[in-house]
């Protein structure tokens, strides 16, 4: 089995996955509540919490799989992009475990991990396909021609889609993380009540900073009335973001000549996005937000570094 470890943001996660993509255990300990009072992830708080959680989470994954370290043949770990302090906790634990057992280690790109959430049993998706990756940190259109990699066709020039959800939620006085809250509140609102424009850039890039600003102005204009119109605001705001994602995804699929469209990352959990792309393949809900099963899955296609050639590996903060 492959032991996957993920600590790039505010989820401490460990998973055990077989070579053929069966998930034997997938443990995610979310720190969301810890960060909620700050309205977002505080990097230093996240790193400290990862330190406390990572060993129990790995132990729990082994217990759930009915396995011991003897059953682990490879360790796969997120190397970046993410919060460097948070990444270093997972990376250090992965190195220590692999080194102590003389195992190979596969450094995994977090974004490739999201894509590899589609390669797990029971219904692995075969490339080629066009993939929309929408998370709190990234919005990317990827051409996936093989399981081991991808080509970037478009990206957000400013905020990520998930970040737009989170910032919009904060403007509406909702909790963190905001995507789920907006999704829930929007069910009770009218998506056509307000018109929020989304920038249309040339090519396949996205921009989400404008829609956030227009929500800010609308909330200010409404003043006291804003509270009673929250559901309509949430629904209209969500509609604008989803529309931008859907339009660009369709354009990218045409440009890349791909018939199959897949959607991964935290925003792939959004119910309106799921409804707006009925023919697309979405990652299973449990694998949309950050988890280690997807990292172990990607580890099957990455370059395994033999013992002990991984000891000097460093984390990286942003997409290279």
Per CB under 6 A, residues contacting ligand KG4 are: 9, 135-137, 162-163, 165-166, 177-180, 183, 265-267, 269-270, 289-290
Exposure string for 262-279, b = 16+ CB within 10 A, e = fewer = bbbbbbbbbebbeebbee
Tokens, residue 219:
């909330």
Alpha helices in the chain (DSSP H): 32-36, 43-65, 84-101, 110-116, 161-171, 178-186, 209-222, 230-256, 271-276, 293-299
Contact positions with Zn ion (CB under 5 A) in 129-158 = 135
Is the distance from CB of 29 to CB of 102 less than 8 angstroms?
Answer: no
197: CB partners within 8 A, 6+ apart:
210, 211, 214, 240
CB of 81 or CB of 302, closer to ligand KG4: 81
Nearest distance from residue 105's CB to ligand KG4, in Å?
22
Number of continuous H segments (helices) and E segments (strands) in the chain: 10, 10
CB of 57 or CB of 62, closer to ligand KG4: 57
Q: How many residues bind Zn ion (CB under 5 A)?
A: 2
Q: Pick from ligand KG4, Zn ion, none: which does 270 bind, CB < 5 to 8 A by kind?
A: ligand KG4
Cα 7–chain centre separation: 12
CB of 10 or CB of 290, closer to Zn ion: 290
Nearest distance from residue 70's CB to ligand KG4, in Å?
31
CB of 23 or CB of 83, closer to ligand KG4: 83
Q: Pick from ligand KG4, Zn ion, none: which does 113 bind, CB < 5 to 8 A by kind?
A: none
Nearest distance from residue 290's CB to Zn ion, in Å?
4
Nearest distance from residue 138's CB to Zn ion, in Å?
7
Nearest distance from residue 110's CB to Zn ion, in Å?
6
CB of 266 or CB of 302, closer to ligand KG4: 266
CB of 115 or CB of 219, closer to ligand KG4: 115
Packed helices 209-222 and 230-256: angle between N→C axes, nearest 10 degrees: 160
Label the pairing between strands 105-109 and 74-80: parallel
Q: Pick from Zn ion, ligand KG4, none: which does 80 bind, CB < 5 to 8 A by kind?
A: none
Nearest distance from residue 126's CB to ligand KG4, in Å?
23
Residue 239 backbone phi and psi in degrees, to 5: -60, -45
Q: Pick from Zn ion, ligand KG4, none: which does 62 bind, CB < 5 to 8 A by kind?
A: none
Question: Which member of 290, 292, 293, 296 binds Zn ion (CB under 5 A)?
Answer: 290
Tokens, residue 84:
């460097």
* CA torsion angle 195 201 202 206 (round to 10): -110
CB of 232 or CB of 290, closer to ligand KG4: 290
């Amino acid at each position: 089995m492959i032991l996957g470890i993920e600590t790039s943001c505010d989820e401490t996660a460990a998973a055990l996955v077989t070579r053929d993509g069966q998930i034997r255990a997938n443990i995610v300990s979310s720190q969301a509540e810890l960060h909620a009072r700050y309205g977002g992830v505080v990097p230093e708080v996240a790193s400290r919490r990862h330190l406390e959680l990572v060993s129990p989470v790995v132990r729990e994954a082994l217990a759930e799989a009915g396995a011991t370290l003897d059953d682990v043949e490879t360790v796969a770990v997120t190397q970046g992009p993410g919060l460097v302090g948070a990444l270093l906790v997972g990376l250090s634990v992965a190195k220590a475990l692999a080194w102590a057992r003389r195992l190979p280690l596969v450094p995994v790109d977090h974004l490739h991990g999201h894509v590899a959430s589609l390669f797990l049993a029971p219904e692995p998706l075969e490339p080629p396909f066009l993939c929309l990756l929408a998370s709190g940190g990234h919005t990317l259109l990827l051409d996936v021609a093989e399981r081991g990699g991808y080509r970037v066709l478009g990206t957000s020039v400013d905020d990520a889609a998930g970040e737009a959800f989170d910032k919009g939620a904060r403007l509406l006085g909702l909790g963190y993380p905001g995507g789920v809250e907006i999704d829930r509140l929007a069910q009770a609102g009218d998506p056509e009540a307000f018109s929020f424009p989304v920038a249309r850039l040339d090519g396949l890039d996205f921009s989400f900073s404008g829609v956030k600003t227009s929500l800010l102005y609308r909330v200010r204009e409404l003043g006291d009335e804003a509270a009673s119109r929250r559901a309509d605001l949430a629904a209209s705001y969500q509609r604008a973001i989803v529309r931008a994602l859907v339009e660009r995804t369709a354009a990218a699929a045409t440009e890349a000549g791909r018939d199959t469209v897949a959607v991964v990352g935290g925003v792939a959990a959004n119910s309106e996005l799921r409804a707006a792309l009925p023919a697309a393949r979405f990652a299973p809900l449990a694998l949309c937000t950050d988890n280690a099963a997807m990292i172990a899955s990607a580890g099957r296609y990455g370059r395994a570094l033999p013992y002990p050639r991984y000891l000097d590996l460093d984390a990286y903060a942003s997409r290279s």
